[in-house]
């Protein structure tokens, strides 16, 4: 078996022809490894990499997550991928059982029926076809690690595909990335609840063409009901940019925009609960401190927005609507913080802010800062 050799983290991986490996997903893998280490902190679990490819994720979790991985299974439907995974396990001195099978079939095997404490789902496109089996193989405390590379679908570029796969309406407008991530979490919550689990997102990341979420499951009817109660809908007015969200059923949302009377666009059902666990992100930062610039930057960004309510204000859209020049998110945050509001940028979208201030306060800050910018420009010209 020939192929390219790749070094990533503490793993050395051979990538034969016909086996999938994307070096652009490195940040996703680096972050996931640290998240598992932080989340399990000394606990050992039975783990499965359900869509292994070269086996890189399973191998890195095993080598780098602080001994969190006990018995390890690696599954791939592609014969070449299963062979590559076997070879890479050997190359890295990692013990693991490889199944050349569809995960959905593997899930019916005796080995799988014992359940898992950690399940890695990193398929092509949508993870939805894997969620039922992942939930069925979960136990109290299981961590689901879910990648969705169908971000375009979740962000509203293909609304019919989103309806078919996630039974949800996306938003092809302001906040579409966070709305997409929350539609994914909503689908995970609905599937988990069918198997009597509630969910608690540990981190949610939007990067390039994909979303990645780590979600901890807790068993019990009450937990499942509490989780489903975190689902709701969003209404966004493209005329005045007013965005409102409500947990519960769709008719709790206004039929007309309360600010301008226009008919808003709706999105959902989606998860309106917490999407980041601040304590876990702080732990990732303390484990990683200074070792990996990408992980540090990402964890810091997620931590800064962890305490803030859902959705964000896109400042370029707001400035355009107010017919003023561009303003910096940091300046808007400083101004809002001086008034006692919480505010931060968001990794979901550049030039945007998350805040607990109402839209009118953000508009005020944008207008004032733009006017200040105009005055400074004029003074420089004189
Ligand atoms: C995106 S790749 C995995 C990449 C790998 N996790 C990594 O980080 O490099 C998806 C893999 O899922 C496999 N696959 C697709 N459908 C599957 C199924 N139903 N069960 C198991 N594996 C599947 C493909 O053969 C492919 O190797």
Query: Which atom of ligand 1 is closest in space to residue 21's alpha carbon?
Result: 9
**303 band by pLDDT with thresholds 50, 70 and 90:** very high
Long-range contact set of residues 293-299: C-beta below 8 Å, sequence gap at least 24: 294/26, 294/27, 294/30, 294/31, 295/27, 295/30, 295/31, 295/34, 298/27, 298/31, 298/205, 298/207, 298/347, 299/31, 299/34
Structure tokens at 99: 């199944």
Dist. CA 49 → ligand 1 center (Å):
9
Residue with the two structure tokens 């994720």? 57
CA distances, 110 to each of 70, 105, 106, 107, 143 (Å): 18, 11, 9, 8, 21
In a 3-state reduction of DSSP, which class is residue 133? helix
Cβ count within 10 A of residue 19: 24
**Residue 262 to residue 255: CA distance in whole angstroms:** 9
pLDDT value at residue 187: 98
Residue 56, ligand 1, Cβ within 6 A: yes
Asked if pLDDT for residue 364 goes beyond 60, the answer is yes
Residue minimizing CA distance to atom 4 of ligand 1: 53
Asked if pLDDT for residue 251 goes beyond 70, the answer is no
Query: Which residues lie closer than 8 Å to 323 by C-beta, 6 or more apart?
Result: none
Residues paired with 90 in a beta bridge? none
- The secondary structure of 220-283 as a DSSP string is SHHHHHHHHTTEEEEEE-TTT--EEEEES-GGGS-SS-TTT-PPPEEEEEEE-S----HHHHHH
Ordered by where they begin, the domains of the chain are 4-279 (3.40.50.150), 312-382 (3.30.56.70)
pLDDT digits (tens, 9 = 90+) for 187-198: 999 999 999 999
Residue 346, ligand 1, Cβ within 6 A: no
Asked if pLDDT for residue 304 goes beyond 70, the answer is yes
Dist. CA 183 → ligand 1 center (Å):
22
Query: Which residues lie closer than 8 Å to 64 by C-beta, 6 or more apart?
Result: 9, 10, 33, 37
Alpha helices in the chain (DSSP H): 26-40, 56-64, 79-91, 103-106, 110-113, 128-136, 151-154, 159-166, 176-194, 221-228, 278-288, 293-306, 315-322, 329-338, 359-381
Radius of gyration in angstroms for the set of CA atoms belonging to the chain, rounded to a whole number:
22
Residue percentage of the chain with pLDDT more than 90: 92
Asked if pLDDT for residue 310 goes beyond 70, the answer is yes
Kindly report the average pLDDT of the chain as a whole number.
Answer: 96
**289 band by pLDDT with thresholds 50, 70 and 90:** confident
Residue 102, ligand 1, Cβ within 6 A: yes
Contact 40, 32 (CB under 8 A): no
**Residue 306 to residue 278: CA distance in whole angstroms:** 6
Query: Which atom of ligand 1 is closest in space to residue 122's alpha carbon?
Result: 6
Dist. CA 75 → ligand 1 center (Å):
8
Mean pLDDT of 332-344: 98
Dist. CA 195 → ligand 1 center (Å):
24
pLDDT digits (tens, 9 = 90+) for 315-332: 999 999 999 999 999 999
Mean pLDDT of 218-229: 98
In a 3-state reduction of DSSP, which class is residue 288? helix
pLDDT value at residue 48: 98
**59 band by pLDDT with thresholds 50, 70 and 90:** very high
- Give the mutation target among 8, 17, 18, 76 for probing the ligand 1 site: most ligand atoms within 8 A of CB: 76
Dist. CA 121 → ligand 1 center (Å):
8
**DSSP at 348:** T
Residue 53, ligand 1, Cβ within 6 A: yes
Structure tokens at 247: 């947990």
Pick from 2-6, 63-67, 159-163: least confident: 2-6
pLDDT digits (tens, 9 = 90+) for 290-300: 788 899 999 99
Dist. CA 123 → ligand 1 center (Å):
5
**Residue 83 to residue 61: CA distance in whole angstroms:** 19
In a 3-state reduction of DSSP, which class is residue 160? helix
**Residue 259 to residue 368: CA distance in whole angstroms:** 21
pLDDT value at residue 42: 85
Residue 78, ligand 1, Cβ within 6 A: yes
pLDDT digits (tens, 9 = 90+) for 253-283: 888 998 899 999 999 999 999 999 999 999 9
Q: At what angle do helices 221-228 and 176-194 cross, to 10 degrees?
A: 150
**Residue 164 to residue 253: CA distance in whole angstroms:** 23
pLDDT value at residue 146: 99
Residue 124, ligand 1, Cβ within 6 A: yes
Residue 54, ligand 1, Cβ within 6 A: yes
Asked if pLDDT for residue 148 goes beyond 60, the answer is yes
Dist. CA 124 → ligand 1 center (Å):
6
């Amino acid at each position: 078996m020939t192929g390219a050799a790749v070094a990533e983290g503490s793993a050395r991986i051979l990538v034969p022809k016909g086996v999938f490996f994307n070096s652009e997903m490195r940040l996703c893998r680096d972050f996931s490894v640290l998240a598992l280490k932080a989340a399990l902190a000394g606990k050992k679990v039975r783990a499965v990499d359900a869509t292994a490819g070269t086996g890189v994720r399973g191998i890195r979790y095993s080598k780098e997550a602080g001994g969190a991985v006990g018995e390890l299974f690696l599954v791939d439907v592609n014969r070449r991928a299963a062979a590559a995974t076997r070879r890479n396990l050997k190359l890295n001195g990692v013990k693991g059982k490889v199944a050349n099978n569809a995960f959905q079939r593997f899930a019916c095997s005796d080995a799988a029926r014992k359940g898992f404490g950690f399940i890695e789902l990193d398929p092509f496109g949508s993870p939805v076809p894997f969620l039922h089996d992942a939930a069925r193989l979960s136990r109290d405390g299981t961590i689901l690690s879910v990648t969705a590379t169908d971000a375009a679908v979740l962000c509203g570029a293909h609304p019919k595909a989103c309806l078919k796969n996630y039974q949800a309406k996306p938003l092809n407008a302001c906040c579409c990335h966070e709305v997409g991530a929350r539609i994914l979490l909503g689908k995970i919550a609905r599937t988990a609840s069918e198997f009597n689990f509630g969910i608690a997102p540990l981190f949610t990341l939007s990067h390039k063409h994909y979303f990645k979420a780590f979600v901890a499951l807790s068993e019990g009817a009450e937990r499942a009901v509490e989780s489903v109660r975190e689902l709701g809908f969003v209404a966004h007015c493209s005329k005045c940019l007013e965005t409102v969200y409500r947990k519960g059923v769709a008719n709790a949302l206004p039929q007309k925009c309360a600010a301008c009377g226009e008919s808003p666009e709706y999105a959902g059902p989606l998860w309106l609960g917490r999407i980041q666990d601040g304590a876990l992100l702080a732990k990732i930062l303390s484990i990683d401190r200074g070792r990996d610039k990408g992980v540090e930057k990402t964890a810091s960004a997620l931590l800064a927005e962890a305490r803030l309510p859902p959705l964000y204000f896109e400042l370029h859209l707001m400035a355009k609507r107010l017919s003023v020049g561009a303003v910096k998110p940091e300046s808007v945050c400083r101004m809002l913080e001086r008034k006692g509001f919480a505010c931060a940028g968001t990794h979901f979208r550049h030039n945007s802010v998350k805040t607990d201030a109402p839209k009118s306060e953000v508009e005020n800050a944008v207008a004032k800062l733009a006017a200040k910018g105009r005055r400074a420009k004029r003074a420089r010209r004189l």
